[in-house]
Amino acid sequence: MADPYGFLKHDRADAKKRPADERLGDWGEVYLDLGADTRDKQVRTQASRCMDCGIPFCHSGSAGCPLGNLIPEWNDLVRRGDWGQASDRLHATNNFPEFTGRLCPAPCEAACVLAISHDGGGAVAIKRVEQAIADVSWEQGLVQPSQAQVTSGKRVAVVGSGPAGLAAAQQLTRAGHEVTVYERDDRLGGLLRYGIPEFKLEKKVLDRRLAQLRKEGTKFVTGCEVGVDLTVAELRSRFDAVVLAVGALRGRDDTSTPGRRLAGVHLAMDHLVPANRACEGDGPPAVDAAGKHVVIIGGGDTGADCYGTATRQGAASVVQLDQYPQPPSRRDDERSPWPVWPWILRTYPAHEEAGERKFAVAVEEFVGDEHGHVKQIRLRKVRVEKDASGRRAVVPTSEEVEVLPADLVLLAIGFEGVEHLPLLGGLGIELTARGTISCGSDWQTQAPGVFVCGDAHRGASLVVWAIAEGRSVAHAVDSFLTGSSDLPSPVIPN
Ligand code: SF4
């Protein structure tokens, strides 16, 4: 039974961050290490604010947690200091809470009944509690390999080692299937490894989870592009089922703005991947912001990741541009063009550190020097409105043009879907108009025995959705191979 007065006694308090100057001097995670005692005490207080609602909107449904995390249960266990039970209940629905605790924008907090208090900012600090449970679980040795009791004799290939692929692999291995994860890169983790900067997710957090999967029996093959290095015929002959978890990494480009092809204008991933590789010890990044005037186009998560990366690399200046107006507050969201919070919450820790943001502007031209390298961008004030067909249109609102210096321009304007992989052609799978892979209600694609999950199915989305889809596809594959499944299936295909 929760403390029904907890939220009246204590205000919400978010985790403290390290000073901005200190953060800029290294690649370590943003949040302050308070030491276990202080962290545990503070988090227990925050967990005590949960009212254990009769209908916990945080827990599931269209706005809450896609994983169906048992939030009121573990809030109360943490309040009472029972970290062991809290760890059990958290891991019952979430394979990787240390990833969601760090990376998820927490739709559960937006759905929390207490979000109506304190001008919309009074929700229980669910994400903070989740991360603390995950961290305590590792510190106290509560996360152990969980080996299958019986084996099925069935073999499953998972293509892609991002959060969706890893969740599917862990669930299927634990169900007794022989699972091999194929990764075309040299290291495992997909976007977790090479997309998310170290200051948001230190890779040792990923590596310790991968070690657990290995001990449970999941096999991994890196540097192997399925459909090229392993042919489709070999894939089909070796495995009883295939899970496609290949992500949606095709970056949206800006093909219409004059000067796009100038040297120094890159897609965001051209910046983030080498920066993450440099953190892994692979040498200086090919696209480096050091000493440069950096302009980032796009106001979302990926843009913020480029922002924090560029400032840490020692950029001379960093400016992030957004076509949309600055959101006034969470409560004033009817003025925002963004669908719903958490997508509206667009201020990130990186923005507190250095640099500048400009809202309601669009690039008119990338201007080059005599060597064909970008040197400036020309901006104009705009507003975004819907045209007669309901499509968004960017309309200039001023004749005035602003010119910014720019040696490095990063396009962080979204993703268009799955890359055109040889594997898909070999399997006879065509992409939808959205650039994703469609499936039936059993997660099976148009290729029999081939399933899909995560961003490849959903389009670029949240880490929590990737894990939820990975768990659900595991249920579907287990049913396909054995006729039924006891594995959970928290979400259905969209
Ligand atoms: Fe607790 Fe908020 Fe969930 Fe209610 S909605 S159970 S207060 S976390």
At residue 183, does pLDDT exceed 70?
yes
The reported pLDDT for the residue numbered 391 is 84
For residue 249, give both structure tokens. Answer: 């990494």
Summarize the confidence of residues 114-143 as an average pLDDT: 90
Ligand 1 pocket member 63 (CB < 6 A): no
Same fold, 6-139 and 155-249+416-482: no
Proportion of the chain above pLDDT 90, given as a percent? 84
Residues 239, 170: contact at Cβ < 8 Å?
A: no
| Residue 10: partners with Cβ closer than 8 Å, 6 or more residues away | 45, 46, 48, 49
Cβ pair 374, 257 in contact under 8 A: no
Q: Is the CB of 2 under 6 A from ligand 1?
A: no
Fold entry, domain 253-413: FAD/NAD(P)-binding domain (3.50.50)
3-state SS string for 151-172? CCCCEEEEECCCHHHHHHHHHH
The helix (run of H) or strand (run of E) holding residue 396 is strand 392-405
SS3 117: coil
Ligand 1 and 107: CB distance under 6 A: no
The pLDDT confidence band at residue 21, using thresholds 50, 70 and 90, is very high
Cα(140) to centroid(ligand 1), Å: 27
Give the model confidence (pLDDT) of 66-125 as tens digits. 999 999 999 999 999 999 999 999 999 999 999 999 999 899 998 999 987 766 678 999
User: What mean pLDDT do residues 185-214 have?
Assistant: 98
Compute, in angstroms, the gap from residue 55 CA to the centroid of ligand 1.
8
The ligand 1 atom nearest the CA atom of 57: 5
- What pLDDT is stored for residue 328 in this prediction? 57
At 400, phi and psi to the nearest 5? -70, 135
Nearest CA to ligand 1 atom 2: 112
Mean of pLDDT values over 42-55 = 95
For the complex shown, is ipTM > 0.90?
Answer: yes
65 lines ligand 1 (CB under 6 A): no
Q: How far apart are CA 362 and CA 304, in angstroms?
A: 17
Residues 6+ apart with CB under 8 A from 33: none
Sign of the dihedral defined by the CA atoms of residues 476, 478, 480, 482, in that order: negative
Mean pLDDT (the chain) is 93
Distances from the Cα of 219 to the Cα of 127, 234, 466, angstroms: 31, 17, 20
282-317: pLDDT as tens digits: 999 999 999 999 999 998 899 999 999 999 999 999
Break the chain into its structural domains and give their ranges: 6-139, 155-249+416-482, 253-413
For residue 75, how far is its CA from the centre of ligand 1 (angstroms)?
A: 9
Helix (H, G, I), strand (E, B) or coil at 323: coil
pLDDT (0 to 100) of residue 50: 96
410 lines ligand 1 (CB under 6 A): no
The whole-number pLDDT of residue 341 equals 43
* pLDDT score at 331: 43
What is the average pLDDT across 273-285? 97
CATH topology for the 155-249+416-482 domain: FAD/NAD(P)-binding domain (3.50.50)
* Ligand 1 centroid from CA 111, angstroms: 8
Ligand 1 pocket member 82 (CB < 6 A): no
Q: 63 alpha carbon to ligand 1 midpoint, in Å?
A: 13
* Cβ atoms 254, 411 nearer than 8 A: yes
Q: For the chain, how big is the Rg over CA atoms in Å?
A: 23
Residue of the CA atom closest to atom 1 of ligand 1: 50
pLDDT tens per residue, range 321-361: 998 887 654 444 443 433 344 444 467 899 999 999 999 99
Distance 217 CA to ligand 1 centre (A): 37
- Element (H or E) spanning 469, and its range? helix 463-482
pLDDT digits (tens, 9 = 90+) for 364-416: 999 999 999 999 999 999 998 888 888 888 888 988 899 999 999 999 999 99
| 3-class DSSP state of 9 | helix
CATH 3.40.50.300 fits 6-139, yes or no: no
How many percent of the chain have pLDDT more than 70? 95
Of 484, 477, 481, 431, nearest in space to 456 by CA:
431
124 C-alpha to ligand 1 centroid (Å): 7
pLDDT for 494 equals 86
Say what the pLDDT of residue 344 is: 47
Phi and psi at residue 133, to the nearest 5°: -60, -45
Instruction: Report d(CA 306, CA 274) in Å as an integer.
Output: 11
Is residue 458 classed as helix, strand or coil in its secondary structure?
Answer: helix
Supply the pLDDT for residue 218. 98
Considering only 146-155, 346-355, 433-442, which range has the smallest mean pLDDT? 346-355
Give the model's pLDDT for residue 164.
98
* Residues 260, 365: Cα–Cα separation, whole Å: 8
Element spanning 368, H or E? strand 361-368
Regarding the beta carbon of 115 and ligand 1, being less than 6 Å apart is answered: no
User: pLDDT at position 62, please?
Assistant: 72
